Chains A and B, each alone.
Chain A
Amino acid sequence: MIVLEIASGVLLAAGALFVISGGVGLLRFPDFYTRTHAAGLTDSAGAGLILLGLLLQGAGWETAVRLLIIMLFLALTSPTSTHILAHAARRDGVPVWREGDPRR
């Protein structure tokens, strides 16, 4: 059981790290597309890790099923919304940031 607890702690810590770095990236990256990277990628990883960590906390099977459903929903919806956002931005002609451009 102690192994499970340690594993859960490690997963939660990693998830928290991912989540925070995603937040910092969203704030600090220079343009919309790079921010998509920060929000989308680290978000899925952070959310997945945190939910896995909670899963290993060892609550009953009802909780486990709900956590898995949340994971499934997030794994489907989060990348999709980032994708359609980036797609729509590209269609609307939001310019891509290049090295040396001003931040926007």
Chain B
Amino acid sequence: MTTFVLINVTLLAILIATALTISGMRTLYAATMLTALFSLVTACLFVLLDAVDVAFTEAAVGVGISTVLLLGVLSLTRSREAVTPRLRRLPGAVVVLFTGGTLIYASQDLPEFGSPTTPVQTHPLTDVYLRQSQEDIGIPNTVTSVLASYRGLDTLGELVVVFTAGVAVLALLGPLMQPAEAREREVLDLVDYRVLRVVTGMLMPFILLFALYVLFHGDFGPGGGFQAGVIFASGFVLYGLVFGLDRAQQVLPRRVLWVLIAVGPVLYAGVGVANMLLGGAFLDYDTFAPDDAAAGQHIGILLVESAIGVTVAAVMTSIFFGFANRVESSR
């Protein structure tokens, strides 16, 4: 137990030190890199708390995609933070202190870490989810059961949020040029990195295979549609970074991506409508296999997770392409 506490204290100390250093930095590239480090440490803490799915998401999103997107933004703007006059920092400091104070005050009400008497432990609903889900749905990872089946409607809402956000960002990034219209660019900077190209070429199939594994293994271990989508996207981002945007867009044309963005919500809602046509409620997967409820749940969860994966991957990849297009055309 003491080792556990010691590890946690070390990681939290690293976390606080990183946060303080980031806030003192003016060079934004270095700050972005440290943000990635911050995410790595957070993910480690999630692992220690046994929140495997959250750790998965934090690693995939925090370290991979958001670092890439932040760097993409930075390469379009200035990379040094402007100096704010001391006087104008005052309101910010007041807000920060007030919010922080409120949070610390609120944390007094939190139950003790690992306490067995919290509502999470004692409420009958926990038992329902943990035990009943094994009979209803029969997959070991309860997180997936709750996410895709019990709270399927909420997850549909989340998917629509991802869809809307993706469409909004793409609309803001403006009219994108076709690869053919783009001016003849000089050969990419990374072209002379032959080792990098060979290694990336070797890694690509493994990355896509790993993403598929995460998608389909989400029933049994950590992972699922969101994480798999982000891994797919990081694979394509890596490809675009190393081999250039044109080749990446030949592999994944923008029109295909835009269609794929819409495919996810349509497929997800379509599953629900199909359930209704089969005589059940919206997103009642049992109707897929009337004799064996668990089998129907498996089919439903698989379809829904795939829908999530497709949309997340397409949104992330198109946003990256959008930024990278602007970066290249601004050079």
Residues in A lying within 8 Å of B, measured CB to CB? 73, 76-77, 80, 83-84, 87
Contacts and interface: CB of A to CB of B under 8 A. Distances in A.
B105 interface: no
B7 to A, nearest CB: 15
Nearest to A62: B221
Contact of B203 (A76, A83, A84, A87): A76
B103 interface: no
18 contacts: A73-B203, A73-B206, A76-B199, A76-B202, A76-B203, A77-B199, A77-B203, A80-B195, A80-B196, A80-B199, A83-B193, A83-B195, A83-B196, A84-B190, A84-B193, A84-B195, A84-B196, A87-B193
Contacts of A83: 193, 195-196
Interface residues of B, number: 8
A83 B206 CA distance: 21
Contacts of A84: 190, 193, 195-196
A75 B16 CA distance: 31
Interface of B: 190, 193, 195-196, 199, 202-203, 206
Contacts of A73: 203, 206
Given A84-B196, A87-B193, 7 more contacts: A73-B203, A73-B206, A76-B199, A80-B195, A80-B199, A83-B195, A84-B195
A84 B189 CA distance: 12
Contacts of A80: 195-196, 199
B40 to A, nearest CB: 15
A73 B190 CA distance: 21
Nearest to B199: A80
A6 B199 CA distance: 35
Contacts of B206: 73
B210 to A, nearest CB: 8
Contacts of A87: 193
7 shortest A-B CB distances, which residue pairs? Answer: A80-B199, A84-B196, A84-B193, A76-B199, A83-B195, A80-B195, A80-B196
A77 B200 CA distance: 9
Contacts of A77: 199, 203
Contacts of B202: 76
A77 B203 CA distance: 9
Contacts of A76: 199, 202-203
A77 B199 CA distance: 8
A43 to B, nearest CB: 15
A67 to B, nearest CB: 15
Nearest to A87: B193
Nearest to A72: B206
A87 B192 CA distance: 10
A73 B195 CA distance: 15
A66 B219 CA distance: 18
A76 B190 CA distance: 18
A76 B205 CA distance: 14
A87 B194 CA distance: 11
A45 to B, nearest CB: 19
Nearest to B198: A80
A25 to B, nearest CB: 19
A77 B64 CA distance: 15
A81 to B, nearest CB: 9
